[in-house]
Structure formats: structure tokens, C-alpha cells
Chain A
Amino acid sequence: MEYFIQQFINGITLGGVYALIALGYTMVYGVIQLINFAHGEFFAAGGYMGVILLAYMTGAGYLETHPFLCIAGAGVLTMAYTAFLAMGVERMAYKPLRYASRLSLLVSALGMSIFLSNGLMLTQGVFDKPYPSELTHGGFEIGPISVGYLQVIIVGMTAVLLVGLNILVFKTRIGMAMRATAQDKIMSSLVSISSNRIIALTFAIGAGLAACAGMMTGFYYGSVRYDMGFVPGIKAFAAAVLGGIGNITGAMLGGVIIGMVEVFGAAYISGQYKDVFAFIIMIAVLYFKPTGIMGENVDDTRV
């Protein structure tokens, strides 16, 4: 039983990270029907920007004196940087193809993914970059179960971001404009919504969330690597598909499920097949219920 609860906690942690990445896939798909294969690279870019900022802060001695302020500051800057990066990517690689076929967009996304990950490799090197671990190493015990502070922070941060995103999308004027743009771009421009701005904003939000996940992953595993975006990116994509691509609640749910399945699969079936479980789920979803758990019927998405 302790083992089960322990794995459950690990699963929630990992699931939260997947959920944060999956949101970017699903939101971008929602507004421009593109599977943004470069999205995993935003996750990696976030992981790297985080470690660069933290290294600078360590060098200046601030990290020791004000650890939480530094990490929070690095987090905010990292999210902002990655958001701008994503808007740049959208402007360069996707906006010129706004009226092109979806296949052209997809190819452009694949190209952007290779470009960004190679860019990271060229500028940051091929070796792992370590995250400062002293700060986040501790934890506490509840009976036989050990919980890392870091796990609490990751789950807490994820929850805050998910709630914040829900408020933004479902309760604000700008969120309403995002949903309108996702449903009918021509009509939303007729009610004076600039779809270009909404699309840029969607990329920025998705990338910001992925960047936060990238930083948390860096802390959790202790290091980042230039190609770290690939596997989690695809798993998060599986999560978005599982939840119903285009559906925000679905992506959150899908992320948690994929995280859980991966952790429990590794714990109870085989650790070596850890990466397989997410894809088994994706294939099963595509085979049995292509619209995903929360996906809408195809026919009511257009008038």
C-alpha cells in the first residue's frame, strides 16, 4: 500500500508536468488546427533559460541569500522569454502559412522543431547541464511515504497555473475572444477580434506553461539536455490526444492520466517499458475513440 501511494505521488508530479506541456499542444490546435511539433522545444528552451539564469544568480551569490526569490524570478523570466520565443516562431514559421494547407504548416512545424533543438545544441553544447540541487533536495515523511519538497512545489505550481489558465480562458474577455477565434475565425474578425493577436497570445501562453514545466523538470531530474523536449513533447501530445485535442480540460486530465500510467506501468509492469505506455494509450485512443475523452463531435465545431 505504501508503495502504491508513493507511486501515486510520483505519478501526480509527472502528470502535472505533462499536463502543462499538453496544454500548449491543445490550445494551439484549438486556434489554428496545427499540431505544433516544435512545442517540445519550448519546454527545452525553458529548461535551459532556467538553468542559465540560475547559474548567473549563483555566480552573483544571490541564490544563496535569497533562494526562493531567485527561483521565482528565474521562473517568471524564463516563462516570459519562452513566450516571446514562441511568438517569434509563430511569426516566422506559421503566420506566412496562415492560408496554406495544414500539411504545409505541419512540415514547417517539424522543420522548426529540428531548427530549435539544433540551435540549443549549437549554443549550449551536447552535454547535460546540471540544475542547482542543494535548495530543493529536502523532503518530509508521512509514515513510510516520503514526499520531496520539490514534488510539493511542482504539484502546487501546476495547480496554480491550471487554475489561472482556466480563469483566463473561461472568465475573462480575452479568454472569450480566444474561444471565439478557435470556433470561427471569420466571424470573430467580424466582431472585431484580431485573430493574429489571439494566435500569438495562444502560442505565448502555451510556451510559457511548457517553459515552466521545463524548469520544473530540470529541478526534478537534476539536469537538462538539448534534446530533452522530444520524448516529453510526444508524451504530452499523447496526453492532448487522450483528452481530446483542442479541449483544455481534456489536456489537463490527459496529462495526469499519462503520468499516472507511466509511473504505475514502470512500477508494476516493467521499468524498461516506461516510455511505451503513453504510446499504447495514444494508439488505443486513436483506434477506439479518436475524439478523446472530452473531445467534441466533429460536426458541431463548424456552423
Chain B
Amino acid sequence: MAAPLLELQDVHASYGSIKALKGISLTVYPGEIVAMIGANGAGKSTTLMTICGIVQVQKGDIFYRGTSIKGTPPETLPPLGLCQVPEGRRIFPRLTVRENLELGAFYRRERTAIDRDIDQAYSFFPILKERRNQQGGTLSGGEQQMLAIARALMSRPKLLLMDEPSLGLAPKIVQKIFDIIAEINKEGTTILLVEQNANLALQTAQRGYVLETGAISMEDQAATLLDNPDIRKAYLGE
């Protein structure tokens, strides 16, 4: 197998005074979609925020493309191709759609390439072109999710971390977002996907991890996890 793109080795981290991660080890290989499922508060978002350097690693280590990124400031990661679509989308509410996209490419300098990528984002999400001069905060939930994904793509990520892209969206839009995720992956971006919608996440992903109270309780091929009766009972509501 190819060298891992991302590797977490026994990562411990706290969120405030709560010990949120108690030894997470996981690996993402280039080209994959890896799903991480688990209940509310299991530490899924904290895992992503720890990878991005927002939450500090207390023990263990994180390797991205073979080098440790433990303790590197978050703003240095997008230039390396590591980018996140965070939980709750975090669109800049009082910046326009266009400005939100521009910020996705903040570290990049080549004006023509950025403009080309913005045009590409508009053709991928025509609604964003329509709304380009509107403030981000005025968009609907689905539109904001599209903007959040488009903004992340503006940094030309190699590895995209996605946190709950389906949260609060109508089923029809959720399906559309997951189609987009599959397409982004087909075009060469590796994806680590955190989801409460375990069914959809495991259908989209090749491999999956199950997170329980800050530790990995299971890891397997996504299809195998989908067939596992315990998983079906705990996360698929059967």
C-alpha cells in the first residue's frame, strides 16, 4: 500500500477541562474517503480540530505526508494541502460569497489561477454565482454548506477534512452534498469525513472508524461496518 497521507498515533487531547481524545490512532491513505462515525460528544470534531492545530495534542503524534505536524500553527496547514470544512460551516457571515471564496485561497498569490478556480467553483455550484455579492450569513443552510465546501476547495487541498456536512440540511440537499463529496474525491482529493449520518457516510466511504467516548472502538472496510449488526443497532437506528 502507498505511504499514508495522514496518520494519527495515540493522540490525546482535551477540550477545556474535558479529556476529549484518549488515544486516537487512525490512518488515511491517498485517494481514499475515510468515514469517522460516532455519537454526539464522542470526539469526532475534536479529532479534526486537533489535526488542524486548533486543539493542542497532549500526547501522541500526528503525521501528514510523513512529517509531524504536532504543534504547528493552524494557519500554516492549508498551504501544505490540509484543509477543513468545519462543523456548522463557519461561513464568514458579513463577508460576501465571493469574499468567502477569495479567503479560501488566502495563502495563494497567483491571481489568474485564483480567478479560474472561482469560476470553476461557480460552475460547480451555480447558486453561488447567483449569490456572489450577497453576504454569507444570508444564505440558506444548504447554500452555506456548498459555500463552505467551495471555499475549502479554493485552497486546492490534498486532504480535506469534513465535519458533519449533512447537519441541519433537508434530505434532498444532503444527497446532493454527498454526490459532490464523491465527485471531489474522484478528482483526486482525499477525504476524511466525520458524520452522524452513519448510513450515508459508510456508503460513500471506502473505510470507516467508529469513535466512542474519545477512543476508536472499531475500524474496517465501510461495507463491512455497514453490515455489522452492532453498528446497525447503535448508529443506524435498527
Contacts A190-B52, A192-B107 given; does A301 touch B76 at CB 8 Å: no
Name 7 A/B residue pairs within 8 A (Cβ), A-sorted.
Answer: A176-B99, A180-B103, A183-B94, A186-B86, A189-B54, A192-B107, A301-B93
A179 an interface residue at 8 Å Cβ cutoff?
yes
Asked if B137 and A191 sit within 8 Å, CB to CB, the answer is no
The winner among A176, A183, A190 for most chain B CB atoms within 10 A is A190
Q: Is the CB of B94 within 8 A of A192?
A: no
Instruction: Enumerate chain B residues within 8 angstroms of A249, measured Cβ to Cβ.
Output: none
Chain A residues whose C-beta falls within 8 Å of the C-beta of B107 in the assembled complex = 192
A1 interfacial contact with B, CB 8 Å = no
Chain B residues within 8 Å of A195, by CB: 75
Binary interface encoding of chain A residues 99-122 relative to chain B, with 1 for a CB under 8 A from any of its CBs, else 0: 000000000000000000000000
Of the candidates A193, A194, A301, the one whose C-beta lies within 8 Å of that of B103 is: A193
Q: How far is the CA of A299 from the CA of B59 in the complex (A)?
A: 37
For A300, give its contact among B95, B104, B137 (CB under 8 Å): B137
B31 CB–A CB distance under 8 Å: no
B91 within 8 A of A: yes
Contact between A194 and B92 (Cβ–Cβ < 8 Å)? no
Q: In this assembly, does B90 line the interface, its C-beta being within 8 Å of a C-beta of chain A?
A: yes
Q: In the assembly, what is the distance between CA of A184 and CA of B100, in Å?
A: 12
Query: Given the complex of chains A and B, what is the CA–CA distance between A193 and B88 in angstroms?
Result: 19
Q: Does A64 contact B (CB under 8 A)?
A: no
Closest 3 CB pairs between A and B?
A192-B78, A187-B90, A189-B74
Q: 1/0 contact trace for B79-102 toward A, CB 8 Å?
A: 100011010111111110001001
- In the bound complex, residues from chain B placing their C-beta under 8 Å from that of A142 are none
Q: How far, in angstroms, from A188 to B91 measured CA to CA in the complex?
A: 10
A303 interface hit (Cβ, 8 Å): yes
Q: Which residues of A have CB within 8 Å of B91? A: 303
A183–B93 contact, CB under 8 A? yes
- With a cutoff of 8 Å between Cβ atoms, the chain A residues found around residue B106 in the complex are 173, 177, 191-193
Chain B residues with Cβ under 8 A from A303's Cβ?
88-91, 93
Interface string of B139-169 (1 = CB under 8 A from A): 0000000000001000100000000000000
**Min CB gap B158→A, angstroms:** 14
- CA distance in complex: A65, B90 (Å): 57
Residue picked from B74, B102, B155, most chain A C-beta under 10 Å: B74
B42 interface residue (CB < 8 Å to A)? no
Given contacts A180-B92, A300-B137, contact A194 B75 (CB under 8 A): yes
- A184 touching B54 by the CB < 8 A rule? no
- CB-nearest residue of chain A relative to B53? A189
Residue from B76, B90, B102 in contact with A186 in the complex, judged by beta carbons closer than 8 Å: B90
CB atoms of B99 and A191 under 8 A apart: no
Partner of A183, one of B84, B95, B151: B95
Q: Which one of B86, B92, B94 has the greatest number of beta carbons of chain A within 10 Å?
A: B92
Q: Bound complex: CA of A115 vs CA of B98, how far in Å?
A: 44
Cβ of A296 within 8 Å of any chain B Cβ, yes or no, is: yes
B73 interface residue (CB < 8 Å to A): yes
Report the bound CA distance from A186 to B93 in whole Å.
Answer: 14
Q: Which of A152-196 contact B (CB under 8 A)?
A: 173, 176-177, 179-180, 183-184, 186-195
Q: CA of A301 to CA of B137 in the docked complex: distance in angstroms?
A: 9
Q: In the bound complex, do residue A192 and residue B155 qualify as a contact, i.e. CB atoms below 8 Å apart? A: yes
Nearest A residue to B85 by beta-carbon distance? A190
B54–A188 contact, CB under 8 A? no
Contacts A176-B103, A177-B106, A191-B104 given; does A184 touch B79 at CB 8 Å? no
Which residue of the partner chain A has the closest CB to B84? A190
Which chain B residues in 102-121 approach chain A with CB under 8 Å? 102-104, 106-107
B26 adjacent to chain A (CB < 8 Å): no
Does B5 have its Cβ within 8 Å of any Cβ on chain A? no
Residue with the highest number of chain A CB atoms closer than 10 Å, among B76, B95, B103: B103
Nearest CB to that of A176 among chain B residues? B99
Contacts of B137 in A (CB 8 A): 300
**Known: A176-B102, A177-B106. Contact between A192 and B75, CB under 8 A?**
yes
B54 touches A186 (CB 8 A): yes
In the complex, chain A residues 43-77 whose Cβ is within 8 Å of any chain B Cβ: none
